[in-house]
A and B are shown apart, each in its own frame.
Chain A
Amino acid sequence: MTTIAPPAAAVGIGLKAQHVREVIDLKPTLDFFEVHAENYMGAGGPALRHLTRIRERFPLSIHGVGLSIGGSAPLDRAHLDRLATLLQRFEPCWFSEHLAWSSHGGAFYNDLLPLPYNTATLARVCDHIDEVQERLGRRLLLENPSTYVEFVASTMDEGGFLAEVATRTGCGLLLDLNNAYISAVNHGRDPWDSIAALPAAAVGEFHLAGFAEDRDGAGDRLLIDTHGAPVAEAVWDLYRRTLRHLGPRPTLIERDQAIPPLAILVAEAECARSALVDAAAWLEAA
C-alpha cells in the first residue's frame, strides 16, 4: 500500500460509521477521508476491516483526539505506541492532533481543554511534539483549538504561540477556521489576527465545521464548537479570505453531531472545492 498524495485542491470529510457502507459501494467524489485515531484502536473486528477497504480507495488523514499534547504530565507512551501501529498500518497522508489537553491524573476527560500560553507551556508543548514526531517518524499537524476561557497566566496570543511551536519543532499546523472564528468571537478579538500570525509554509490542512450559539454571563455571544451544523457563512468568508492569503490546502468538512446523509456532506465539501479552485485562479491572476 503506497501513500497517495491528493491534489492541492483536495477536499474530504470525516468518516462516520453510518456512511461506511455507502462510501465503499459508491466511491463519492472526495479526495480523502479523515478518521479519529482513537476509534480504530480496538484489537480487531469489522471497523478495522472497513477502514482497510476505504484506504484501498482513498487517501486517509488520521486525526488524534487523545494524546493530550498540552498536558502537564508526560505523554502516554502506550498511546503513542498505539498511534505508531495505526499509522504504520494505514499510512495516512497526514497525522494531526490538538493544542489542548484531555488527560490528567490518569483520567481521560474526553474534551479538548485549554492551556495558558506562556514560555513554560511553550517549552512543554514543544517537548511533547518533539517526542511525538520522533516516535512516529513523521511530521505532526497541530490544530488550533476553540476555547471558552482565557488564563491570567497567558503571556502570548494563540497565533504567536502556534507560530513559535511550528518554528521550534518543525511541526505543521492544521488551521481549523471554525475554531479560529469561535475563539475570536468568544474572546472579543478579530479572527484575522491569529491567522495572519501563522507561518504560511507550516499550514498543511484546513478544517471547517459548524458551531452552536449561546450567551456568556454578560450577554455577549458565546460560540460552542459542536460539529453539529453546516459551516456558518462567517466561517466560509474567513476560509475564502484565508485561501487568498495562504493559498489552497487540503480541506476537511467535520461533522460529529446531527450527522446528515452522506450526500449533504459531500455537497458541503464540493463548496469548499469551489472556493479552493476560485482562490487558485485568483492567486494565479494576481
Chain B
Amino acid sequence: MMMPEPIQARFANALLAPERPLPPGFVTWNGSDPSVRFDVYRNNVVVSLTAALADGFPVTRALVGEPFFAAMARCFVVEHLPESPILTDYGDALPDFIAAFPPAHGLAYLPDLARLERARVKAYHAADARALTAEDLAPHLADPQRLPATRLVFHPSSTLLVSEHAIVSLWAAHQGQGRIEDVELHRAESALVLRDGDEVQVLPLALAIARFLAALAAGTPLGEAAEIATATAPDFDLVQALALLIHHGGITAWKPSGELAA
C-alpha cells in the first residue's frame, strides 16, 4: 500500500480553498507570509483553466460578458477539475453546469449554445475518417430496393444538436451572419456540427431532417428514419437530406444489409 502523501494532499486541497488558512510546512527565505506566494499557484490554476474554457466557448463568453464568464468558470473549475492533462477534452460538463447555475437561469438558450460550441471543439479534434463520396454511393443509390433497410455510419466528428432555442442563429450572428437583434430566441433550431475537410461546419437543419438524422444516428434504418421525418413534415425530402450529408462528408459507412459498424 502506498504511504499517504500529506504534503501534496494538503497542497492540492489548499489550491481551491483560498478562504482557508495555508497548511503548515512552507518556509520563505525572508520570513514573509507564504500565503502571498501560495496565491500565485491558486491564481495559476483558476486563471489557466478559465482560459482553457474561454478558448472553447467564445460565443457563450460574448453573450454573458467576460466578468460573468470568468466568475462562472471559477465556480465550474472548483467543482470540475480536468480529469486528464488534455485540455481540449475539458469542458464537456460546462453546458449542464450552466443549466444548473442560478445566475444564468434568465438565459434559457445558454446551455444549448454552449453544447454547440463544445461540439465544434470536439469536431475539430475528432478522429479522421474517409467520408464516402457521391461516386462511392452512386451504386447504392441506384438500387432503391435495398435503401429502406440501409443503415449509415456518421463521421466521428458529427454531433446533432436539437434545441428549443435559436442557438444556430445566435451562433451565426456572432460569426457576422445576421444581426443578433433579429434573432427570435424562442424559435426551436437544430444543427449538425461536423468537420468537413479542415473546417468545422455548423449546418442549420429543418426539424424533419434533424429527426431523420437523429434516427439514423441511433441505428434506425433509412426507411424507418424517413417515415419519422415525414411524420414531422410531410414535404420531407429524403434525397435533399442525403445530399446534404454526402456534400459535407458526413457518411463514413453505408450498410445495405443493415449491419452496424463496431
B198 surroundings in chain A (CB, below 8 A): 45-46, 49
Which residues of A211-251 are within 8 A (CB) of B? 214, 216-218, 220, 222, 224
Whether B40 pairs with A109 at a CB distance below 8 angstroms is no
Whether B9 pairs with A105 at a CB distance below 8 angstroms is yes
Closest chain-B Cβ to A229's Cβ sits at a distance in Å of: 16
Task: Give the CA-CA distance A45 to B88 in the complex, in Å.
Answer: 12
B112-156: contact bitstring with A at CB < 8 Å (1 yes, 0 no)?
000000000000111111000000000000000000000000001
Whether B26 pairs with A152 at a CB distance below 8 angstroms is yes
Task: Give the CA-CA distance A65 to B85 in the complex, in Å.
Answer: 8
Interface residue tally on A, bucketed by range: 35 or more
Whether A148 pairs with B38 at a CB distance below 8 angstroms is yes
Cβ of A204 within 8 Å of any chain B Cβ, yes or no, is no
Task: Give the CA-CA distance A150 to B156 in the complex, in Å.
Answer: 47
Whether B29 pairs with A109 at a CB distance below 8 angstroms is no
Whether B83 pairs with A106 at a CB distance below 8 angstroms is yes
Cβ of A79 within 8 Å of any chain B Cβ, yes or no, is yes
A77 surroundings in chain B (CB, below 8 A): none
Cβ of A278 within 8 Å of any chain B Cβ, yes or no, is no
Cβ of B12 within 8 Å of any chain A Cβ, yes or no, is yes
B27 surroundings in chain A (CB, below 8 A): 149-152
Task: Give the CA-CA distance A148 to B32 in the complex, in Å.
Answer: 12
Whether B52 pairs with A110 at a CB distance below 8 angstroms is yes
Cβ of A187 within 8 Å of any chain B Cβ, yes or no, is yes
Whether A111 pairs with B156 at a CB distance below 8 angstroms is no
Stretch at the interface among A36-44, A168-176, A266-274: A36-44
Whether A188 pairs with B126 at a CB distance below 8 angstroms is no
Contact of B32 among A78, A82, A105, A220 (CB under 8 A): A220
A71 surroundings in chain B (CB, below 8 A): 8
Whether B29 pairs with A188 at a CB distance below 8 angstroms is yes
B20-42: contact bitstring with A at CB < 8 Å (1 yes, 0 no)?
00001111111111111110110
Known contacts: A44-B125, A116-B7. The answer to whether A224 contacts B40 by CB under 8 A is yes
Cβ of A66 within 8 Å of any chain B Cβ, yes or no, is yes
Contact of B85 among A38, A115, A187, A216 (CB under 8 A): A38
Cβ of B48 within 8 Å of any chain A Cβ, yes or no, is yes
Cβ of B86 within 8 Å of any chain A Cβ, yes or no, is yes
Closest chain-B Cβ to A86's Cβ sits at a distance in Å of: 11
Q: Which B residues are within 8 Å of any A CB, using their own CB?
A: 2, 5, 7-9, 11-12, 15, 24-38, 40-41, 44-45, 48-49, 52, 81-88, 124-129, 156-157, 195, 198
5 interchain pairs, CB-CB under 8 A: A44-B127, A65-B85, A67-B85, A107-B12, A110-B82
Q: Across the A-B interface, give the 9 residue pairs with the lowest CB-CB distance, nearest first.
A: A66-B85, A42-B125, A72-B5, A218-B32, A188-B29, A217-B33, A107-B81, A44-B128, A217-B32
